[in-house]
Each structure stands twice: as structure tokens, then as C-alpha cells.
Amino acid sequence: MKILIINGPNLNMLGEREANIYGKNTYGDLCARLNDFSNEKNIEIEIFQSAIEGEIVNKIHQYRNYDGLVINPAAYSHYSIAIYDALLIAKIPKIEVHISNVHNRDDFRKNLITAQAVDGIISGLGFKGYELALEYIIATTA
């Protein structure tokens, strides 16, 4: 089983950006944690990060190479119709993850566009959210 994990803009700056919201751990820490988790679960993961909307769209179009998708579109979650449309095309289990709780922050973060094209969303559980999303995909595709 191979699961694609996509992270959007500024997530590569974890550890440097708003530690009070996102924690002190770096993007490298997140990737290492997910690699360890995938080894434990005996699954393959591919982690892709980009700040460029079109690159994220193009990556989603490769969905046929994967059994599931975990995506944190970051700020694009709140306004990208292009990523929303791409997610509608990707007919595999797909979960949107947010490290922070987007419902108790700025009002504009409550506007969730891409979330309307996924199976479910996890928000506010920190890095653990990615693991829970992987667990869901493992359980639904088993």
C-alpha cells in the first residue's frame, strides 16, 4: 500500500513559524515521524511539499499511483478552487489534515474550500493528525 502525503505552502517552515500555534518541531521532524510510522505500519509513503498551487494540482493528478492521499493544503485550503477540483478527480480515500484548529483562529480560516472534496478532515491535533489520517486510509483500504 502506497499513500501520498501532500503539504502546501509554509509547512516546510515548521519549527520557525508561529511555534505557539504549530509547535517547535521542524518539517524534518514531521517527515521523520511519518517515515517511522509508515515503517511500523508496513506501508509505503511518499511525502511531497510545495508552495506552488499548480505543482500541488499536478501531483494530485498522479492519484492512480497511490492507494490514498493525506493532504494539508495549508493556506490554499481556504481559497483554492483548482486544488478542490483536482481533489474531486482523485477517486482514492483522501483526508485533509490541519496541524492547528482552523475553527478557533482567524475567521478566514473557517472558510474551508478543499475540505469539501475530501472524505474527512482532522484539525487541531498537531502532527498526530497525519498519523490518524494514515490509520483511516489503512483501515478503509484493507
Q: Which residues are catalytic?
A: 22, 98
Among 12, 77, 80, 114, binds ligand DQA (CB under 6 A): 77
Among 30, 56, 86, 98, binds ligand DQA (CB under 6 A): 98
The DSSP output letter for 17 is B
Query: How far is Cα 100 from Cα 79, in angstroms, rounded to an integer?
Result: 17
Among 1, 43, 75, 132, binds ligand DQA (CB under 6 A): 75
Query: What separation in angstroms does the CA of 28 have from each of 7, 60, 62, 74?
Result: 12, 22, 24, 17
Alpha helices by DSSP H, listed for the chain, are 19-22, 27-41, 53-60, 81-89, 128-141
Burial string for 45-62 (b: 16+ CB within 10 Å, else e) reads: bebebbbebeebbebbee
Of 31-39, 72-80, 84-92, 134-142, which segment contacts ligand DQA by CB under 6 A? Answer: 72-80
Among 30, 102, 121, 138, binds ligand DQA (CB under 6 A): 102
Cβ 57 to ligand DQA, closest distance in Å?
A: 17
- Which residue, 39 or 101, is less far from ligand DQA as judged by CB? 101
Binding site for ligand DQA (CB under 6 A): 10, 72, 74-75, 77, 98-100, 102, 109
